[in-house]
Structures are given as C-alpha cells and as structure tokens.
Amino acid sequence: MTENKELLIKKELKKTLKILDKAMDTFNYSYQSCKTMDIKDEYTYEELDKFECLTSRFARLSDILTQKILKSILLLLREDVKSFLDRINRAEKLEIIVSADQLKAVRDLRNEIAHEYCIEDLSGLFANVVKYSGVLIGIIDKVKKYIATKQLTLENDEKDLTGRA
C-alpha cells in the first residue's frame, strides 16, 4: 500500500469515527428509553416508535462498525479479507474484538431488522435488540480502544501528502 493510500484510509477512518460517535449518541438515547420497557405482545404507538428508533439505530450503528470501521482497520493492517465472516474472524484473531460469534449475532440481528416486514413476533425482535445493544456497545468500545492503541487515525497535527490536516 502506498503512503498516500494509507493516509487516505486513516483520514476516512477518523471521519467515520466521528460519524460513529454521533450515531452512538442517538443510539444510547433510544437504548436508555427502551431498556426498561416491558417486552409484551402489543405496544402503544409511542412504545412502537421508541422501539422502531432503537432498532433502526442499532442497524445503522452495526453497519458503520462492520462495513466501515472494521474494513478500514483491516486495510491499514494489510489484511486481505473479503467476506464479512472472514473479516470478523480475523478481527478476533488480531484481538480487535473479543468474539466473532458476538459480532455475528449482532449482524444477524441487524439483518433481521432489515427484513422486519416479514417478522410476526416483534416482541422477540425488540427483546433481542435490547439484549444485544449492550453487546454492541462493548464491541464498539473495544474497537475504539484498539484504534487508539495502534494509532490508526491521523493525529490533529498530522498532515496528508497535500499538506492539509
């Protein structure tokens, strides 16, 4: 990988981490609203709205993590992985994440959310999203610590090849 390409990936990773942080803020708001709600067979419209926000934000957050952040990290580490499963297995081996199985479960839940129109048991979906929200937050925290430890983003005073920060 050329130095220019590496700098571009680092710059993109830094930008994506800012997006992740904003997504985490809104996700945490929804998670706090829903985690104490009862799981039941029928919901009020207000409760449905809250759970819809949580599920949508869960899916968005997991996509940012798996499709942007992990891809960038593995590119910077010069790891040539193509599929999602290869990516999370490699991330586990490199200790970027604790468990590939946990992230696979998050991804499976994200896919279930994306195809929510064919789910008859919304209460089961909502229960799983609440359950795995804490798991997703833990995975993100570990990934962010890994990025900081390995210094995989541009520092504020670092400049790219054009001389811009």
Closest CA to 161 of 18, 10, 13: 10
> Can you tell me the distance from the alpha carbon of 39 to that of 94, in angstroms, rounded to the nearest whole number?
37
Lookup result for tokens 């504020």: 156
Whether the Cβ atoms of residue 136 and residue 144 lie closer than 8 Å to each other: no
Helix axes 122-150, 100-114, angle to 10 degrees: 130
Write down the pTM of the prediction.
Answer: 0.90
Q: Which tens digits make up the pLDDT trace of 99-133? A: 999 999 999 999 999 886 656 778 899 999 999 99
What ranges do the domains of the chain cover? Answer: 3-150
pLDDT surpasses 70 at 163: no
For the domain spanning 3-150, the CATH number is: 1.20.120
Q: Which tens digits make up the pLDDT trace of 42-91? A: 899 999 999 999 999 999 999 999 999 999 999 999 998 989 999 999 99
